[in-house]
Amino acid sequence: MTPFAVHRIDNPTAALIVLIVEVLLFSYFLVVNAVYLGTALVAFVRLPRLVRLLRADPLRDLTPASLPGVSVLVPAYNEERHILRTVESLLNQDYPNFEVIVVDDGSTDATVDVLIERYGLALSSEIHPIAIPAVPVRATYRSSSERRFRILVKDNGGKGDALNAGINVAGNRLIFACDGDSVYTKDALKKMVEPFVDDSKTVGVGSSIGVSNDCLLDYDPIVRKRLSKNWLVRFQVLDYLNAFLSSRVGWARCNALTIVSGASGLWRKDVLIEAGGFRTDTKWEDLEMTIRVHHMLRKKRRAYRIRYTPFSICWTDVPDRVTSLWNQRVGWHRHVSECMSLHRRLLFSRYAGVVGWVMLPYLMLAEWLSPLVVLFGLLFGLVAAYFGFLGYFSQVVLFALVLALGVLTSCCALLLDELTFDTYRLPDALRLLLCTFFVVLGFRPLVTLANLAGFWRWATRAPIGGHRDIVGPGSPPYDPLRS
Amino acid sequence: MVWTTIAVALAAFVLAIGIIATSVLNLARKRSAFVVTQRWRSIFEGESLPDSVPLIRRSQVATVLHVWNDCYVAGARPQLVRAARAVNFEALALDLVRRRREDERLIGLFALGTMRSPAVVPVAIKLAAGGPALLELVAYRALALVDEGMVLPFVQKIAENDEWNVAKVEFVCVELGARKLSRALNHVVTNASGAQLERLRPFLRFCLPQSTKA
């Protein structure tokens, strides 16, 4: 019996085609959701236990001077509204050995001016080594009062290029890549560095990211974790919980994390240099860098780990308007498409391990191709319904299944948060619970459409919008496929 | 497919109920923990013990000992030992160590180690044999603090595994003191391989100069 049930097709060939399409669609649906629920199950088993243990640890707050030094890189382009609170939260870190480097990527607003005024910065003559090609730094500013802080000013080259310029200047062996519009908790560096200290094979660490819209921020801690009144923001809170709690914990457990977020990612400097630095011809560089490091180290058969800390050490404002959300998701999906294309040889290669045999195929099915599958499924459903191949009852049941699975996955993430971090108060948790229904009905279709647009832009090689169109003059970064 | 849909919907419903229940429980737990923490922190950090100490319910044992451990790490030590004797924390911590949850075991184990309670030895030996790295470290700490003969296995373990956080090991080394550590460090360093020496390097400063051979 087919999952879609009622057929009234007299032609046996047509009946067979319909049957095959139905089975394929249903299998896709089952596999994607089963893998997602599998990773959520790993998170359920592991995360509450781990977080309880870490909280019970009486030695959790130790910060000895022997911790490795960290260079915090903040690429900034027209961030005059947010940059002060970002830098302030970073300079406020409870960590013994770090420096903060803001790389102004050719801002046309007062990003540099507000920092000069706040920290009394003065021009400094410095010569920087060039380990990774990047747009040259035009000026360096240093503060006399805050020795750990400096600004590099350069022409626009994109976020990846700004990070590369920062890596050239960085004086420590760990690089913390940040965003210029996010806020970091006081223990951010300590939490991120811990996996490096615990396991010498660690080359990168990602962290969870919280949604800060309408939260009262006072650097440490995020004073009041309040849920925004904006429904679009609420949907994204659920989306972030889904991605950061249910999914990444499970993938990180088997060393198959494919994204160390660009807003809070800690990397070993030598590994970044060995990989050729961040790509400069893309708007979002984080996914590509993570997959590239996997690709490079697996190909060289080196023992390594990319770890994940589930604590939200970074809080960021998410888009609160449909247009900005649309642009963000279009860009993200385009970036996913670029990465899948760039690293296609990692798929099912003999050295790829769990990344190439499980994670990337899943990323391909569940993320990259999902808008196409959804579109095809919808068209197929419409055609089948029009010709009477599909009964109304089957359609209702199918819709109910999609809705129930959507609610189930969102509830998983929300329950996981309640069991571990208890981020939101009871009324806010109830509001989020209500949102789980509308996520499936409103938010996911919108994101699917945006993903489809992103896929289309990648397929047609449409130019990337925004300032990051401009590509730095440096040579193309290390390409594991050619090495 | 109808049954699949019903099953998924039921699972979602159960999770939704779980979210509400967990939220309510979290709220109650937070309130209760706040009161207990405030009350006991003021006792542990105070100049002298009050005439009568509050009764500790079974559900509050972990919270109270957690506060006690935190105060110990922060440095308020003589008062803590008096409080521990007055309230018979040893029995409470032993009860905690025998529970199933790892966080409760960790709290109990750390407290028993701090109190140098010989009763911790059988449980600590069991927990030191395997489990999460953090629990293992705290078990070794308890054993080394209680029995000087266990300092050597502790140092050997530092050399053999790279899962222990250096900062936490340093804290334990300070607690043990150079006198106890020196001989064990000398012994292990003499027979250590290159990788083991690298792991021991941050702790070599705990060697007394007159006993250093390596």
Other C-beta atoms lying within 10 Å of the C-beta of residue A65: 7
Omega before A480 within 30 of 0, i.e. cis = no
ipTM above 0.90, yes or no: no
Cα–Cα dist A315/A213, whole Å? 9
Q: Judge: A411–B16 Cβ closer than 8 Å, yes or no.
A: yes
Average pLDDT score over residue span A470-477? 36
CB of A243 less than 8 A from some CB of B: no
Tokens of A282: 């893309």
- Residue A3 has what pLDDT? 47
Chain A residue with minimum CA distance to B100: A49
pLDDT at A467 over 50: no
Helix (H) or strand (E) holding A264: strand A264-268
pLDDT of A477 > 70? The answer is no
Contacts of A235 (CB under 8 A, 6+ apart): A435, A438, A439, A442, A443
Neighbouring C-beta atoms of residue A41, cutoff 10 Å = 13
Contact between chains at B167 and A197 (C-beta distance less than 8 A): yes
**Residues of chain B found within 8 Å of residue A429, distances taken between Cβ atoms:** 19-20, 23
Radius of gyration of chain A (CA): 23
Helix H or strand E segment including A314:
strand A305-316
CA distances from B14 to A37, A44, A410, B26 (A): 15, 15, 13, 18
Count of A-B CB contacts under 8 Å:
120
Within an 8 Å CB–CB cutoff, is residue A25 touching chain B?
no
Residue ranges of alpha helices (H) inside A244-391 are 248-253, 269-274, 286-299, 322-342, 353-354, 360-362, 370-386
Confidence at A2, pLDDT banded by 50, 70, 90: very low
Kindly report the average pLDDT of chain A as a whole number. 86
CA–CA separation, A171 and A99 (whole Å)? 8
Q: Is A343 helix (H, G, I), strand (E, B) or coil?
A: coil
pTM of the predicted structure, to 2 decimals? 0.85
Give the residue-averaged pLDDT of A206-234: 79
Q: Is the pLDDT of residue A470 over 50?
A: no
Interface of A with B in 396-425 (CB under 8 A): 397-398, 400-401, 404-405, 407-408, 411-412, 414-415, 418-419, 422, 425
CB-nearest partner of B66 from A56, A408, A426 = A56
Whether residue A364 is predicted with pLDDT greater than 80 in this model: the reply is yes
Q: What is the structure's pLDDT at B139?
A: 94
pLDDT of A466 > 80? The answer is no
Q: C-alpha dihedral over A255, A258, A264, A268, to 10 degrees?
A: 60
Q: What percent of chain A is helix, strand and coil (3-state, nearest 5)? A: 50, 15, 35
Which residues pair with residue A176 across a beta bridge?
Answer: A72, A266
Do residues A236 and A319 make contact, with C-beta atoms less than 8 angstroms apart? yes
CA A270 to CA B154: how far, in whole Å?
A: 33
Q: A182-184 and A149-154: which strand pairing?
A: unpaired
* Cβ neighbours of A64 in B, within 8 Å: 166-167, 170
Residue A476 has pLDDT above 70, yes or no: no
pLDDT value at position B214? 46
Per-residue pLDDT at A468:
41
Structure tokens at A158: 């994109």
- Residue A8: pLDDT band (50, 70, 90) is low
Q: What is the DSSP letter of A468?
A: G
Residues of chain B in contact with residue A433, where contact means CB-CB under 8 angstroms, are 16, 19-20
Q: Which long-range contacts (CB under 8 A, 24 or more apart) does A347-355 make?
A: A351/A298, A351/A299, A351/A301, A352/A298, A353/A298, A354/A254, A354/A255, A354/A256, A355/A255, A355/A256, A355/A258, A355/A291, A355/A294, A355/A298
Q: Would you list the DSSP string of A198-226?
A: H-TTEEEEEEEEEE-TTPBP-SSS-SB--
Task: Choose the closest CB to B22 out of A52, A400, A419.
Answer: A419
Q: Are A65 and A434 in contact (CB under 8 A)?
A: no
β-pairing, A264-268 vs A174-178, is antiparallel
| pLDDT value at residue A222 | 54
Cα–Cα dist A338/A479, whole Å: 13
* Chain centroid to CA B65: 10
Interface-testing mutation among A411, A426, A428, with chain B (most B C-beta atoms within 10 A): A411
> What type of residue sits at position B210?
Q
> B139 by DSSP, 3-state: which?
helix
CA distance A278 to chain B (A): 30
What is the rounded CA–CA span in Å between residue B87 and residue A123?
Answer: 62
Q: What is the pLDDT of residue B77?
A: 67
Residue B74 or A444, more confident: A444
Confidence band, pLDDT 50/70/90 cuts, at residue A23 = confident
Question: Around Cβ A375, how many Cβ atoms within 10 Å?
Answer: 15
Q: Which of A311, A304, A310 is nearest to A268 (CA)?
A: A304
3-state secondary structure of A431: helix
Task: Give the model's confidence band at A277: pLDDT under 50 very low, under 70 low, under 90 confident, else very high.
Answer: very high
Bridge partners, B42 (sequence order): none
Containing H/E element for A44? helix A12-56
Of B78, B92, B114, B150, the residue nearest A58 (C-alpha)? B114
Residue in B44, B168, B198 to test binding to A, most A beta-carbons within 10 Å: B168
- pLDDT, residue A465, reads 57
Cβ distance A307 to A195 under 8 Å?
yes
Note whether A200 and A209 are within 8 A (CB).
no
- Rounded to whole angstroms, how far apart are CA atoms B66 and A340? 48
A216 vs B177, more confident:
B177
Which two structure tokens, joined as six digits, stand for A326?
Answer: 């649309």
What is the predicted pLDDT for the residue at A469? Answer: 36
CA distance B160 to A73: 35
Chain A environment of B109 (Cβ under 8 Å): none
Q: What is the pLDDT of residue A128?
A: 77
Average pLDDT over residues A124-153: 88
pLDDT in tens, A309-348: 999 889 998 999 999 999 999 999 999 999 999 999 999 9
The secondary structure of residue A317, as a DSSP letter, is P
Closest Cα in chain A to B9 = A404
Given strand A98-105, what is the order of strands in its sheet? A121-124, A137-143, A149-154, A98-105, A70-76, A174-178, A264-268, A202-211, A305-316, A182-184
pLDDT band at A482 (very low <50, low <70, confident <90, very high): very low
Per-residue pLDDT tens digits for A371-420: 999 899 888 888 887 877 777 777 788 888 888 999 999 999 999 999 99
Alpha-carbon gap, residue A387 to A381, rounded angstroms: 10
pLDDT score of A127: 78
Q: Which residues of chain B have pLDDT under 70?
A: 76-78, 208-214
Contact in structure between A151 and A121 (CB atoms under 8 Å):
yes
